[in-house]
Amino acid sequence: MNLTQMRMFHAAVRSGTFTAAAQLLGVSQPAVTQQIRGLEEELGVKLFVRKGASIELTPSGAEFEAQAARIVRLTDLVEQSFAAQRDLAAGGISIGVCSPYLIMPTIRAFSARHPSFRVGVFQGNSKDLVDGLLEYKWDLAMVTMKAPDARFTCTPLAEQQIRIIVPVSHPWGTRQRLAPADLAEVPLIIREEGSMTRDLFEDGMRAAGAVHDAARIFNSREAVKEAVASGLGVGIVLSQEVGFDSRLRALPIEGPDFSATEYLICLPDFARTRPIREFIAVAGEVFGDGRDEPRC
């Protein structure tokens, strides 16, 4: 078993066919077929079921992919580290984020230092991002958590608190803060299951002994904001993700702890590679500048 076989196997999993894998790697389709056949013979198991032109992983293939993906990606990062010791002139990293605009200042600062190094961004909720990191879909993730996760190297970047957003014309528009009990009888617009924003809010409400009516559920904060601006109800977002929408007003909730921390996380092995170390260092500089909390 060698790295070439693993790369071709991993490319076939990502692309869904041997032909697409060959195009991705810049080799011939027979070369991919031959390498994967040799890998199957060496392991003594079938890794794929062929269904016409497409392929599907067998249970053994899925088990092997969990390790192959880690080895291939870690090897790529190590090669990038040593191929560009001075200025990271080639290569790329991928980042999973809950909030794209929260990571953009870091990407801008990183890209200014390393303009030829690619940064890919993928969006999802907190659960999706953690799962994707464990499956080696991306190299880093920016997620909101109540405490560091022992499975990852976790770098704290910013504090997050729940904010209730209302239209500026709402009766609460002149309030300075809200109590949990205020939210018991208003239609709430909240995020989907798996969202840390929703988890934080519901944990805080339970701690306060307060109830709420989840009238509508949306799977993005942008949809929540638009629904609130349209008068469909009262929304819930995180403080660092409020934005600058002149139609909305953001209010804190008093009482139990409605807060968490924004972390940049990665698998421990990945944290030792230069591209990841450099990106984490830049993020620390960007988030350490003492900026005020965003306004609506």
DSSP 20-34: HHHHHHTS-HHHHHH
171 DSSP assignment: G
pLDDT at 80 over 80: no
Q: Is the pTM of this model over 0.75?
A: no
pLDDT bucket at 247, cuts 50 / 70 / 90: very high
- Asked whether the predicted pLDDT for residue 174 surpasses 60, the reply is yes
pLDDT in tens, 24-49: 888 888 888 888 888 888 888 898 88
Residue 11 Cα to chain centre, angstroms: 22
Count CA within 13 A, CB hemisphere, residue 186: 22
- Asked whether the predicted pLDDT for residue 237 surpasses 90, the reply is yes
CA Rg, the chain, in Å? 23
Residue 59 CB neighbours (<10 A): 10
Residue 143, pLDDT above cutoff 70: yes
Query: Could you tell me the domains of the chain?
Result: 3-75 (1.10.10.10), 83-154+267-287 (3.40.190.10), 158-260 (3.40.190.10)
H helix intervals, 58-209: 59-83, 100-113, 126-134, 196-207
* Cβ–Cβ under 8 Å, residues 58 and 47: yes
How does residue 291 score in pLDDT terms, banded at 50, 70 and 90?
A: very low
**pLDDT confidence of residue 50:** 83
pLDDT computed for residue 87 by the predictor:
61
- Summary mean pLDDT of the chain: 86
Quickly state the pLDDT bin for 281 (edges 50, 70, 90): very high
Which pLDDT band holds residue 86 (cuts at 50, 70, 90)?
A: low
Are 121 and 107 spatial neighbours (Cβ–Cβ below 8 Å)? yes
pLDDT given at position 84: 53
CA distances from 221 to 142, 237, 239, 261, 264 (A): 16, 7, 12, 18, 20
The 10s digit of each residue's pLDDT in 98-117 is 888 789 999 999 999 999 88
166 pLDDT band, cuts 50/70/90, is: very high
Question: What would the mean pLDDT of 137-155 be, rounded to a whole number?
Answer: 93
pLDDT for the residue numbered 248: 94
3-state secondary structure 216-253: EEECCHHHHHHHHHCCCCEEEEEHHHCCCCCCEEEEEE
